[in-house]
Chains A and B, each alone.
Chain A
Amino acid sequence: MSVFVEVDHVGRTFPMPDGDRYIALKNIELKIKKGEFVTLIGHSGCGKSTLLNIIAGLDKATQGGVLLEGRQVTQPGPERMVVFQNYSLLPWLTVRENIALAVDEVMSDRPKGERRGVVEHHIDMVKLRHAADKRPGELSGGMKQRVAIARALSIRPKLLLLDEPFGALDALTRSGLQDQLMQICEENKTTCVMVTHDVDEALLLSDRVVMLTNGPESYIGQVLNIPFARPRHRLEVVKHPNYYSLRGEAVNFLNQQKRGKQRKVKQTAIARHGLEKVNLEIGFIPLTDCAPLVVAKEKGLFKKYGLDEVTLSREPSWKAIVEGVASRRLDAAQMTAGMPLTMTIGIDGKPPLPTVTALVLSRNGNAITLSKHLYNEGVRTLADFKAAITSSPDKIHTLGMVHPSSMHNLLLRYWLASGGIDPDLDVSLTVIPPPQMVANLKAGNIDGYCVGEPWNSRAVYEDLGFVIATDLDLWDGHVEKVLGVREDWANQNPQTHLALVKALMEACEYCDDHRNREEILELLCQPHYVGSAPEYTRPGFIDPYQRGTDAKPELLLRYNQFHIEKTNCPYRVEGLWILTQLARWGITPFPKNWIEVLDRVRRVDVFGEAARDLGMMDIEPDRGSIRLFDGTVFNPDDPISYLNSLKIKRDLRIQEITIDLEAEARGERLEARG
């Protein structure tokens, strides 16, 4: 669709009394389609109202400009109406007169009768017929704001701008007005830009939520696309499988900004012990397999290798991990196996950001859980699941996974496809952060998921789901979590990187000694790590694994594998398997130069150096074929034939992936903007 409003590289600088300048907004670029509802969200002082005023023509951009239907906005005009928080009604005029004033002014060329009709129509639109002759002093806050909205809409603006219109109202009055506004906008196809700091309001009303960072130099930090179908209803929207993860993302964005505000002083590198940087911020996700990071911290292994000041940052989602590493908020992070590859190639429209891994942190540890409801319908196997899908064509089965680049996504898809279920056509896959899986299953938003522990066992423990397959059933010994850092970070901090790999490798060894598992369990269950209850964290990690079926609990010694059998080497063949699956499902193109890509991303050399220093084996596992549960053999010498042989897949794109300096420079520029 064509662009209706274009905010073109807008910057706004204010002169300060001391002769200095305050840069409020920097390089804001936003294209709004006709009929779209966009909200701007951010903390007080982030410049969102300034931006709205610039769109309204009440303020002028210092750099760049705003176009409405291709024409530059230079001054306020009736085609762009603003509704403010404080209503701005004339107190001596009635509701009808307040609206008529605007209509008479703007539509002065129209006959009186027509203007009268417009006024009355808008009084009805906001359901104020009974109060049409009242003055603002006799109206409640909610009613006053309805007058302001009616007045703004009565002159048929092309664009409705709302600056925290409901901010002064209590939450419940607010909800009534949100419903009305939504209905009016849908009926009239009004294009809206609204400033708010209420996340639920933004999610309910918007097609896109544009989140601004804190000033000075605010910029667009993140944009959320809101997929809920219209017309929307408050109580249905919260039941959408993505509602709470989108809400979590927005809240997380605001919290990060808040923390950033508190931090203020930018963290500077502290060099010590021959290491470039000993103060590291490392991100992790609350999962059983974050154990090596927790052990390295709690057992003093980071310190042992000179990393004196390591902070572990509990992140709410894998997306937050990607963002944290990209923005350098995090030095390093626990990552899904495919994440360094997808970051390097670039997915979801993100520019390529070369990212490397020199260490596999864990293998296995995932399972596929389906709802108890499906179990009660008799689903026990993949074939049963297929039959359940076929027999209920009206129901869309929704399955959760944690990130496109995760083994959960790739193995779940592989498993479904092996049973003749197309993961994109026959079911709906949706991204949900691990800790929110159980809540979504319980709420009935999803029918199952693939995730790491303890989130399968928790569903079993709470009798909400059953495990239809563990990853030992699919691919015993597959790579699961890796340590990821930006390539430029690894290049700038080679000794630190090496020390980090060594500390974690030793931690991995410690984790695989089952005598230590009780101690590790206690660490994991602490609230600032996984924060789970031991009852559902033990299965698989220490105790026999419970599937929530008739099957007897089974001891799975290699369910969480951290060190044994060459766990830690980020060897290239499995990286290649991941590349084929990413291409199979259209997540990334398959790189013609896969050897170069894998060489760049999977730093077997750094792993080898660390292993030798520790006196461990530094050999890469054999370059053999990989055979999965369905009998399909993956031959690393001919990945393209393998891809072509797969039955269920998307259109393959095969292309040269250039990980050049330009890509890095582009990353830098984005960085500088951020």
Chain B
Amino acid sequence: MQTLNSTSLKTDQLINRDPFLVIEDVSKIYPTPNGPYIVLDGINLTVHEGEFVCLIGHSGCGKSTLLDMVSGFRQPTEGEVRLQTKRITEPGPERMVVFQNYSLLPWMSAFENVYVGLDSVWPDKSKAEKTAIAREHLALVGLTEAANKKPKELSGGMKQRVSIARALALRPQVLILDEPFGALDPITREELQEELLKIWQAHQVTVLMITHDIDEALFLGDRLVMMTNGPAATIGEIMNIPFARPRDRTRIMEDPAYYDLRNYALDFLYRRCGHVDE
């Protein structure tokens, strides 16, 4: 099929490039009174520079734990995570995280929320320069006019835009998104997805994103990593998402491959890794 051929071409090109972010034999095990509890078991994933990778899996499958080891908030029990051959041992501004709950400081305006990040990472840069960077990134997410508003005066979508601006302002090499649009209504979600794609293309940033929404993954990602259920969760399968970019939502949904991929992912999640009841 034509679309799939074009993917394999693309993948070949990627393979020729050096690996950018490498997750190698990573396991995460917590000791408990009843013996070791294995959260993640033997995760291997190589991400190339500029790639957009989505992760999907049921609650408790350790997706967030995995991303925490990329951001440096946690350490693997076994294996290692490397960014450009350098082992990740702590959080750093080259790997920025955006959470579902925005995590904005409520007493600061949108501008100040972005600025405070710049200030902590680049204390030596001039105020004028940092102000300019903050303004530029607020403009990027369409918030120039709301720059002086406090989080409580902003809608959910606007708050998440501030979080994205704050993360991007530090020019990270990797942007880590932990279900960033999960709390938004579907229309706002679609708008932000489209903005995120534009920003991703303009910034050439590598993105790792957790989502629970198959349509979102198919619209945004180059690859979809499907995780098995925990405990001892691992990568069940990786799906290549072949749609040409720039992507148009309507066009993708007209592609015969779309429903195959969507139904395949649904099948993986609901049948092969059926939900284990609490």
Contact = CB atoms under 8 A, between A and B. Distances in A.
B269 A442 contact: no
Contact of B59 (A173, A286, A314): A173
Interface stretch (A352-360, A393-401, A431-439, A504-512): A431-439
B252 to A, nearest CB: 11
| Chain A at the B interface: SS class | helix
A462 B213 contact: no
Interface in A416-437: 435-436
Nearest to B212: A171
Contacts of A235: 263, 266-267, 270-271
Given A239-B263, A442-B260, A533-B2, A254 B270 contact: no
A527 B254 CA distance: 12
Interface stretch (B15-23, B102-110, B179-187): B179-187
A316 B262 CA distance: 20
B256 A438 contact: yes
Interface string A222-266: 000000000000110011000010001000001000100000000
Contacts of B187: 43-44, 254, 258
A176 B186 contact: no
A254 B186 contact: yes
B275 interface: yes
B255 interface: yes
Which of B182, B248, B259, B267 has the most chain A CB atoms inside 10 A of its CB? B259
Contact of A244 (B57, B251, B259, B275): B259
A234 B270 contact: yes
B58 to A, nearest CB: 5
A172 B275 contact: yes
B1 interface: yes
Contacts of A234: 266, 270
A321 interface: no
Contacts of A280: none
Contacts, number: 84
Which of A172, A442, A533 has the most chain B CB atoms inside 10 A of its CB? A172
Which of A440, A441, A442, A533 has the most chain B CB atoms inside 10 A of its CB? A442
Contacts of B57: 172
Which of B182, B186, B255 has the most chain A CB atoms inside 10 A of its CB? B186
A170 B182 contact: yes
Interface residues of A, number: 43
B185 A172 contact: no
Given A171-B212, A172-B59, A248-B253, A127 B277 contact: yes
Nearest to A440: B259
Nearest to B57: A172
A244 B253 CA distance: 9
Contact of B278 (A140, A170, A464, A533): A140
Contacts of B179: 170
A544 interface: no
Interface in A569-603: none
Contacts of B277: 127, 176
Contacts of A495: none
A142 B212 contact: no
B260 A170 contact: no
A439 B1 CA distance: 13
Which of A170, A316, A436, A461 has the most chain B CB atoms inside 10 A of its CB? A170
Interface of B: 1-2, 57-59, 179, 182, 185-187, 212-213, 248, 250-251, 253-256, 258-260, 262-263, 266-267, 269-271, 275, 277-278
23 contacts: A170-B182, A171-B213, A172-B59, A172-B275, A173-B59, A176-B277, A244-B259, A248-B253, A254-B186, A254-B187, A258-B187, A314-B250, A316-B250, A435-B254, A436-B254, A440-B259, A442-B256, A442-B260, A443-B260, A458-B256, A462-B1, A464-B256, A527-B251
